[in-house]
Chain A
Amino acid sequence: MNASELQPVVQFLTSTAPFDTFSEELIRRCARAVIIGYYSKASGFVQFDADAPKLYLVRSGAFEVRDPEGVLLDRVAEGEFFGFSTLLSGEKVVNRVAILEDSLVYHFPQALFDQLRSESRHFDKFFTRAFAKRLRHEARFKAKDLTTTSRISTLMSSSPITIDAHATVTQAALLMRNSRVSSLLVTDNHKLVGILTDKDLRNRVLASGLDGKIAVHQAMTTSPISISSNALIFEAMLLMSEHNIHHLPIIDEDKAIGMVTSTDILRGQGSQPLLLIGEIERQRDLASLISVSKQIPLLLQNLISADARAEEIGRVLTSVTDALTRRLIVLNQQILGEAPMAFCWLAFGSQGRQDQAACSDQDNGLLVAEEMDDFAKGYFDALTHAVCAGLDQCGYMFCPGNIMAQNPKWRMSLNQWQKVFEKWVITPEPKALMHASIFFDMRSVYGPQSLFDALQDKVLAQTKDNDIFLAGMAGNSLIESPPLGFFRKFVLERDGSEVKGIDLKHKGNALINDIARVYALSAGIKEVNTAKRIRALMDANILNRKDALNLADAHEFIAHMRLSNQGYQHTQGLKITNYLMPDHLSSLVRHQLRDAFKVVHDAQSGMKMKFMRSF
């Protein structure tokens, strides 16, 4: 028998995932094993033979799978499968499969299915829906090792050179000479207490006329600025340039595990986002800031085409927004004069969560330390109007809902902000909460951290374990649900309706943001970035490891699809939207998105169980 002889079958399998990865020879073998059946719509439902379970591949026509309660599970058409859950579990068929159209179906016997699973990892994964593994596998192949998005841990020296705080500076200098380093980490009981650099020895010892017998802790820089080991190189660079320092200890759970120096970083190539931020910090007036900000869309496109992780793209873009905001505040203060009191510029929503993408609008507010007198009111009114207008001109449109610092309503003292949050928490009316959820993703972009902490700590103390509030938040986020999957050219909703496109933001990432927020607020977790919230929830054993990793992967995958879709829209000269049209998606991507939606849906159900049981 030669290959051309069962050509229609071989051709079809060749273009159908997961067979498309098989060798010609294996496809021919599979084609030979096919048993073709015909299902007429008039006969209603597929009759399953309990003694001979099979894999069903639709060649033409369509079917609908529902669970015993009648809940729609899937609608399958040409090139799609049903019946595999029985093959995998070995349990009796419980789902009902309705015949929607007259259909021609390829049956594969259980023996072949099992054999293909053991022969091909790809085939096995396709059906076992090893979702997380598959997506992570995908990500490994896709995400390029971009300098701007690499982790700081890749740069640091593996064994940090440390010295005890009570050693003498002579001992420290000897250690530095022998290890050929310009700085040491100073520890006390394994806890990082400071760093000692060449400069410290010069300025604090020699220039002060002291001798080498003094203790290290007298000469060191105490409470040094440090960074977490999973921070991005780019964030380390930012921190160094902000504080004008050259040494950055790397911390993992309060323990110093390494150090990076500006030289380490400069060894890598100069990166575009950092150059952009550097440029922002050098500009002296609004006009030049506006012209610099014109590069932001290009930066986004570069990051997308470099296939950086969506989470990292969000963090990089938000850092640029933060830098612009800070620069606008500084420039306007130069015009208006020193502020009459301490204040924090608050970022809400996507900027708060550090997941900004194309065409983000503004969501911000102002937190001032005390009640404002008339002068302060006038001052902050002028400052916030100038900053918000500046942001608008730099491409961050005014917030349509008017959640902006220039709106006197969102310009309050600590005391007033606390009261506003308290009102939302105590009387969680659905409508108010939908509006308010944006405020719970807050971060301070400018101003003293202690002032911001005072607000956030109070808010979290109120939300933590607050059943009524959490049930309200959870209920709110269940109004939307992710789609079920795809059916032919359409997106299949859970109620069975078919729509043309899917809003990856509102029916995908936003739902995950909601879930992460509810859990984080319930546990008093300070993080606002969704990926960080999920990680913190996993570390605190509030979400189990598997669910947490799945949710984080689904978040990344959907966000990645959204960004690459926007990259596609950009190159095609189309309007940039969150809408994905399924017609040009590969069958693998359709399956992956479907799996991601399922993870979101399961997480929604889990959240409902946890927070809405008694309501």
Chain B
Amino acid sequence: MAAWLIHAKLQWRTLRCQHQLFKDYYQSLIPLIDQPISQAPLIAIDLEMTGLDPFKDQILSIGLVPIENGVIPLSHAQQKLVQIRGSVGQSAIIHGILDNHLTQAVSIEEAMAWFMEQTRGRVLVAHHSPLDCRFLQQDILAIYHQAVLLPAIDTLVLEKQRLLREHSVLKDGCLRLGACRERYGLPIYGAHSALTDALACAELLLAQVAAMGGGADISVGDLLT
């Protein structure tokens, strides 16, 4: 998506939106679009879900890892577990989240308020962002009755574009987070959680930006999808 188009969309939303929370959110993003990627405040996110269908499945946990001035300060990395309706069921095996872990969990309402608060003034970064964004949009719609626009930098798309530019053949699985990291010589992380995957995604973005030449002349808008 062209930067001017995102600009226009955000301006429009800021004007039209009735809900102050989202009005503020859009407004906070506008000045970031033209900032160099190496200086803009970003936030890598990752969700764990009970499945892949945003209409049927639920968010289990959310990991947030901010990126500031091109580095990742871990002091602000956070994770929240989210209460779900019913049992975690089969997916517990996948995510390693047991029912009793969810006793520390917050309600989805609380989680979304926290998410909007934490991401204000920061551009989202995710690996395969449409999936995460659809889950977030679905829950926000249910809670706030707002169809929210969540502009995000997708590390998967950035990688795909790079590989296609190099005329590489895209093999099965070559765009998975782990496979992308391997190409940049980033360490392999064994355990998966929303937080470690968000961290993995944030590190991948730093590597991708470095490979583009450091990002001083690349704006946030250039990388948004």
In the complex, B3 has a CB within 8 A of chain A: no
From B71, B73, B193, contact of A7 by CB (8 A) = B193
From B72, B190, B191, B200, contact of A35 by CB (8 A) = B72
Provide the residues of chain B in CB contact with A9, threshold 8 Å: 74, 199
Provide the residues of chain B in CB contact with A86, threshold 8 Å: none
From A32, A59, A104, contact of B75 by CB (8 A) = A32
- Whole-angstrom CA separation of A36 from B79 in the bound complex: 18
Contact (Cβ within 8 A) A8 B74: no
From A6, A8, A43, A107, contact of B214 by CB (8 A) = A43
Contact (Cβ within 8 A) B189 A102: no
In the complex, B173 has a CB within 8 A of chain A: no
User: Assuming the A-B contacts A5-B79, A8-B187, are A36 and B71 also in contact, with contact meaning beta carbons closer than 8 angstroms in the complex?
Assistant: yes
Contact (Cβ within 8 A) B193 A5: yes
> Nearest Cβ distance between residue B191 and chain A, in whole angstroms?
5
Which segment, of B145-153, B160-168, B203-211, faces chain A? Answer: B203-211
- Whole-angstrom CA separation of A1 from B75 in the bound complex: 11
Contact (Cβ within 8 A) A7 B191: yes
Contact (Cβ within 8 A) B187 A59: yes
User: Assuming the A-B contacts A36-B71, A102-B185, are A8 and B207 also in contact, with contact meaning beta carbons closer than 8 angstroms in the complex?
Assistant: no
Provide the residues of chain A in CB contact with B211, threshold 8 Å: 40, 42
A-contacting residues, B71-85, CB 8 Å: 71-75, 77-79
Which residue on A lies nearest to B75, using beta carbons?
A32
Contact (Cβ within 8 A) B74 A6: yes
In the complex, B184 has a CB within 8 A of chain A: yes
Contact (Cβ within 8 A) A6 B75: no
B-contacting residues, A29-80, CB 8 Å: 31-40, 42-43, 59-61
Provide the residues of chain A in CB contact with B189, threshold 8 Å: 7-8
**Chain B proximity mask over A81-109: 1 for CB below 8 Å, otherwise 0:** 00000000000000000000111100100
A-contacting residues, B171-221, CB 8 Å: 184-187, 189-191, 193, 195-196, 199-200, 202-203, 206-207, 209-211, 213-214
User: Assuming the A-B contacts A6-B199, A35-B72, A35-B74, are A40 and B210 also in contact, with contact meaning beta carbons closer than 8 angstroms in the complex?
Assistant: yes
Contact (Cβ within 8 A) B184 A6: no
In the complex, B41 has a CB within 8 A of chain A: no
In the complex, A4 has a CB within 8 A of chain B: yes
Provide the residues of chain A in CB contact with B74, threshold 8 Å: 6, 9, 31-36
Contact (Cβ within 8 A) B193 A4: yes
- Whole-angstrom CA separation of A34 from B186 in the bound complex: 17
> Nearest Cβ distance between residue B85 and chain A, in whole angstroms?
24
In the complex, B70 has a CB within 8 A of chain A: yes
Majority secondary structure of chain A interface residues (helix, strand, loop or mixed): mixed
Interface residues contributed by chain A, number (CB under 8 Å): 28
How many residue-residue contacts, CB under 8 A, span A and B? 82
- Whole-angstrom CA separation of A188 from B199 in the bound complex: 81
Provide the residues of chain A in CB contact with B202, threshold 8 Å: 36
Contact (Cβ within 8 A) A7 B186: no
From B185, B191, B196, contact of A101 by CB (8 A) = B185
> Nearest Cβ distance between residue B120 and chain A, in whole angstroms?
22
> Nearest Cβ distance between residue B153 and chain A, in whole angstroms?
15
User: Assuming the A-B contacts A33-B74, A60-B185, are A1 and B207 also in contact, with contact meaning beta carbons closer than 8 angstroms in the complex?
Assistant: no
> Nearest Cβ distance between residue A111 and chain B, in whole angstroms?
12
A-contacting residues, B58-79, CB 8 Å: 70-75, 77-79
- Whole-angstrom CA separation of A32 from B78 in the bound complex: 10
Provide the residues of chain A in CB contact with B200, threshold 8 Å: 8
> Nearest Cβ distance between residue A417 and chain B, in whole angstroms?
64
Provide the residues of chain B in CB contact with A101, threshold 8 Å: 185
> Nearest Cβ distance between residue A31 and chain B, in whole angstroms?
6
> Nearest Cβ distance between residue B158 and chain A, in whole angstroms?
14
> Nearest Cβ distance between residue B76 and chain A, in whole angstroms?
9
Which residue on A lies nearest to B209, using beta carbons?
A38
Contact (Cβ within 8 A) A5 B203: no
- Whole-angstrom CA separation of A102 from B186 in the bound complex: 9
- Whole-angstrom CA separation of A513 from B209 in the bound complex: 53
B-contacting residues, A2-24, CB 8 Å: 4-9, 12
User: Assuming the A-B contacts A5-B79, A5-B195, are A37 and B187 also in contact, with contact meaning beta carbons closer than 8 angstroms in the complex?
Assistant: no
Provide the residues of chain B in CB contact with A107, threshold 8 Å: 71
From A1, A4, A36, A42, contact of B213 by CB (8 A) = A42
Which residue on B lies nearest to A107, using beta carbons?
B71
- Whole-angstrom CA separation of A514 from B105 in the bound complex: 69
- Whole-angstrom CA separation of A34 from B75 in the bound complex: 7
Provide the residues of chain B in CB contact with A60, threshold 8 Å: 185-187
Provide the residues of chain A in CB contact with B214, threshold 8 Å: 40, 43
Provide the residues of chain A in CB contact with B190, threshold 8 Å: 7-8
Contact (Cβ within 8 A) B206 A61: no
Which residue on B lies nearest to A38, using beta carbons?
B206
> Nearest Cβ distance between residue B185 and chain A, in whole angstroms?
5
- Whole-angstrom CA separation of A107 from B72 in the bound complex: 10
Which residue on B lies nearest to A61, using beta carbons?
B185
Provide the residues of chain B in CB contact with A104, threshold 8 Å: 186-187, 203, 206-207
Contact (Cβ within 8 A) B79 A102: no
User: Assuming the A-B contacts A38-B206, A40-B210, A60-B186, are A8 and B72 also in contact, with contact meaning beta carbons closer than 8 angstroms in the complex?
Assistant: no
> Nearest Cβ distance between residue B32 and chain A, in whole angstroms?
21
Contact (Cβ within 8 A) B184 A102: yes
- Whole-angstrom CA separation of A103 from B206 in the bound complex: 11
- Whole-angstrom CA separation of A22 from B203 in the bound complex: 26
- Whole-angstrom CA separation of A107 from B196 in the bound complex: 18
Contact (Cβ within 8 A) A38 B207: yes
A-contacting residues, B13-35, CB 8 Å: none
User: Assuming the A-B contacts A61-B185, A102-B185, are A4 and B191 also in contact, with contact meaning beta carbons closer than 8 angstroms in the complex?
Assistant: yes
Contact (Cβ within 8 A) B191 A8: yes
From A12, A31, A102, contact of B210 by CB (8 A) = A102
Contact (Cβ within 8 A) B185 A38: no
Provide the residues of chain B in CB contact with A33, threshold 8 Å: 74-75
Identify the B interface with A (CB < 8 A). Answer: 70-75, 77-79, 184-187, 189-191, 193, 195-196, 199-200, 202-203, 206-207, 209-211, 213-214
A-B contact pairs, 27 of them (CB 8 A): A4-B191, A4-B193, A6-B199, A7-B189, A7-B193, A8-B187, A8-B200, A12-B187, A32-B74, A33-B74, A35-B72, A35-B73, A36-B74, A38-B207, A38-B210, A40-B211, A40-B214, A43-B210, A60-B185, A60-B187, A61-B185, A101-B185, A102-B185, A102-B207, A104-B187, A104-B203, A104-B206
Q: Give 14 A-B pairs besides A9-B199, A39-B210, A102-B207 with Cβ atoms closer than 8 angstroms.
A: A1-B78, A4-B193, A6-B195, A6-B199, A7-B196, A35-B74, A36-B202, A36-B206, A37-B71, A37-B206, A38-B207, A40-B214, A60-B185, A101-B185
Top 4 A-B pairs, shortest CB-CB distance: A40-B210, A38-B206, A36-B72, A8-B189
